[in-house]
């Protein structure tokens, strides 16, 4: 029997706010354990939560980006459970009325565009972090993360393959980063995903029993974990067995999932509206302010780049993968209307430099105007491609102006025909044997002579002029 996988994803995105969701403690990552704490996030009796308005703004931006319906009045609820990383004994989340529902995004996988429904987006607080010390009989708890704001984005069971799941996650991550609300770092845990998966016979409409995979912390693992679980469930169903509704923990080192617990149900959590927090009313001004902060989204922007500049899908995707990079490209265009050359210089030398130094475009002291000026010098034949790369290196280090670097280092392209003629004579007299071979028909040696001339001038000679001059000299003598 052939089975169809059905997948629904729950994504937790940590919001990049300065402070936590219900207190003034810093939400920054990496501080000494328990240094970002106060009575509110430690759950001291009598302390009261105060909602951080930035969290609402960020959640609204994501809701708008995913075309959700926004609940003008929404509520916080307590999700009750005991765990040592949760000092209050409950997590403040949203349950019956989340901030947003009924959205969707379009994803592309295997050359097809598919729409995936978004059931809901809700705001909640993160729990603390437990460190188990296997060598010693103890666990450590760090409450710095307690109360750091999250949004949870729950998808409809619309995803049909591990590949689509990967595409969905990448798309969401890209949108979050474009909105500037989450850094999307899966390894550091600021972007996490639980995957629900079931199988059903091809053509069947009702959903099968699902399991939930937790603890998947990289894009590579998500597809692997789903493939594993598809094989496992298919094996059981083929033998006439039944899938047990349970939560599985993915073990990346062993490449398999182990049962963590039987599936908990909503009623196990005794949800109820949090009496310490009034219902949240989204007024039109708030909504308008958040709407202003939603830029052109990566999907439409990518398609616009493809069409307006005739870029390949891969090039457009790479440029748009980071908002800052796409913005840099478009700012350069304002000074130099040559999209193809700009794209080539950004994707090649510029990204090469950034990657080598482990930097992002935001760290670069090069303005779009001066980058465009450099590309214009190359296009106008004022500097060769190879010297231009070293000019760019200098610019990236010091923020210097390209014209000045070219002048100071004497890198301007030599286009003076008498200088090139002398250079050609010099090369041909030094390589007499090769010149003779050329005249006997080995014309591919032309490239060799040009290479020597470029080497001699450290890339400064105009290669076209050099090539033409040498060929003329060889053919007339």
For Zn ion, the binding residues (CB under 5 A) are: 23, 25, 38, 40-41
Q: Of ligand ADP, Zn ion, none, which one does residue 273 interact with (CB within 5 to 8 Å by kind)? A: none
Cβ–Cβ under 8 Å, residues 64 and 52: no
Query: 466's torsion region: left (phi>0), alpha (psi -120 to 50) or beta?
Result: alpha
Tell me if 10 contacts ligand ADP by CB under 6 A: yes
Closest to Zn ion by CB, 148 vs 391, is 148
25, interface contact from ligand ADP, Zn ion, none, CB < 5-8 Å by kind:
Zn ion
For residue 48, the SS3 value is: coil
> CB–CB of 179/214 below 8 Å?
no
Which among 5, 306, 2, 299 has a CA at the least distance from the CA of 164?
A: 5
CA distances from 9 to 12, 52, 82, 118, 121 (A): 10, 27, 25, 9, 12
For residues 23 and 420, which CB has a smaller minimum distance to Zn ion in the complex? 23
Site string for ligand ADP, 152-191 (x = CB under 6 A): --xxxx----------------------------------
157 binds, among ligand ADP, Zn ion, none (CB under 5 to 8 A by kind): ligand ADP
Where does this chain touch ligand ADP (CB under 6 A) — which range of 48-56, 149-157, 354-362, 462-470?
149-157
**Which range touches ligand ADP (CB under 6 A), out of 73-81, 151-159, 227-235, 291-299?**
151-159
Is residue 366 a contact partner of residue 342, using CB atoms and an 8 Å limit?
A: no
Contacts of 220 (CB under 8 A, 6+ apart): none
Contacts of 116 (CB under 8 A, 6+ apart): 104, 105, 106, 107, 155, 156, 158, 159, 164, 168
Shortest gap between Cβ of 233 and ligand ADP (angstroms)? 10
Q: Which residues pair with 133 in a beta bridge?
A: 138
* Site track 359-398 with ligand ADP (rule: CB under 6 A), x = hit: ----------------------------------------
Query: 181, 187, 217: which is closest to 30 by C-alpha?
Result: 187
Is 94 near ligand ADP (CB under 6 A)?
no
Site for ligand ADP in 229-268 (CB under 6 A): 266
Q: Is residue 6 near ligand ADP by the rule CB under 6 A?
A: yes
Q: Give the pairing of strands 100-109 and 112-125.
A: antiparallel
Nearer to Zn ion, 36 or 78 (CB): 36
End-to-end Cα, the chain, rounded Å: 79
8 binds ligand ADP (CB under 6 A): yes
Residue 363 CB partners (closer than 8 Å, separation 6+) = 354
Q: For strand 256-262 and strand 149-155, is the pairing parallel, antiparallel, or unpaired?
A: unpaired
Which stretch in 23-31, 103-111, 202-210, 462-470 sits in contact with ligand ADP by CB under 6 A?
202-210
325 binds ligand ADP (CB under 6 A): no
41 touches which of ligand ADP, Zn ion, none (CB within 5 to 8 A by kind)?
Zn ion
Beta strands in 202-294 (DSSP E): 211-216, 246-251, 256-262, 272-273, 280-281
Pick what 155 binds: ligand ADP, Zn ion, none; C-beta below 5 to 8 Å, kind-dependent.
Answer: ligand ADP
Q: Which residues bind ligand ADP (CB under 6 A)?
A: 6-10, 154-157, 196-198, 207-208, 210, 266
């Amino acid at each position: 029997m052939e089975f169809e996988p059905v997948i629904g994803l729950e994504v937790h995105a940590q919001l990049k706010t300065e402070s936590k969701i219900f207190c003034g403690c810093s939400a920054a990552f990496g501080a000494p354990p328990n240094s970002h704490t106060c009575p509110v996030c430690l759950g001291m009796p009598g302390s009261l939560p105060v909602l951080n308005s930035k969290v609402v703004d960020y959640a609204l931006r994501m809701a708008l980006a995913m075309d959700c319906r926004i609940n003008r009045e929404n509520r916080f609820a307590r999700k009750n459970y005991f765990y040592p990383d949760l000092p209050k004994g409950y997590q403040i989340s949203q349950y019956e009325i989340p901030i947003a529902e009924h959205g969707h995004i379009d994803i592309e996988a295997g050359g097809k565009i598919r729409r995936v429904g978004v059931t809901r987006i809700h705001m909640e607080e993160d729990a603390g972090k437990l460190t188990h010390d296997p060598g010693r009989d103890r666990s450590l708890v760090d409450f710095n993360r307690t109360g750091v704001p999250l949004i949870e984005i729950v998808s409809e069971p619309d995803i049909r393959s591990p590949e689509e799941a990967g595409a969905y996650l990448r798309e969401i991550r890209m949108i979050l980063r474009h909105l500037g609300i989450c850094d999307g770092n899966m390894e550091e845990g600021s972007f996490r995903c639980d995957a629900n998966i079931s199988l059903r016979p091809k053509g069947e409409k009702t959903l099968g029993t699902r399991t939930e995979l937790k603890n998947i912390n990289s894009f590579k693992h998500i597809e692997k974990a789903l493939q594993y679980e598809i094989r496992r469930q298919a094996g059981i169903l083929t033998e006439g067995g039944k899938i047990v509704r349970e939560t599985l923990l993915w073990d990346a080192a062993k490449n398999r999932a182990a049962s963590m617990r039987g599936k908990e149900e909503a009623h196990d959590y005794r949800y109820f509206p949090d009496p310490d927090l009034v219902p949240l009313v989204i007024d039109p001004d708030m909504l308008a302010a958040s709407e202003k902060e939603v830029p052109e989204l990566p999907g439409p922007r990518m398609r616009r780049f493809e069409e307006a500049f005739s870029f390949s899908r891969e090039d457009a995707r790479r440029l748009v993968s980071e908002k800052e990079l796409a913005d840099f490209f478009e700012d350069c265009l304002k000074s130099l209307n040559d999209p193809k050359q700009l794209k080539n210089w950004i994707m090649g030398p510029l990204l090469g430099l950034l990657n080598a130094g482990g930097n992002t475009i935001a760290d670069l002291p090069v303005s779009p105007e001066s980058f465009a000026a450099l590309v214009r010098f190359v296009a106008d034949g004022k500097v060769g491609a190879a010297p231009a790369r070293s000019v760019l290196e200098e610019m990236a280090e010091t923020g210097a102006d390209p014209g000045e670097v070219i002048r100071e280092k004497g890198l301007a392209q030599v286009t003076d025909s008498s200088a090139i003629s002398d250079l050609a004579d010099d090369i041909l007299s030094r390589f007499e044997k090769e010149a003779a071979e050329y005249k006997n028909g080995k014309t591919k040696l032309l490239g060799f002579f040009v290479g020597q001339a470029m080497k001699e001038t450290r890339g400064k000679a105009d290669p076209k002029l050099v090539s033409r001059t040498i060929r003329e000299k060889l053919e007339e003598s």
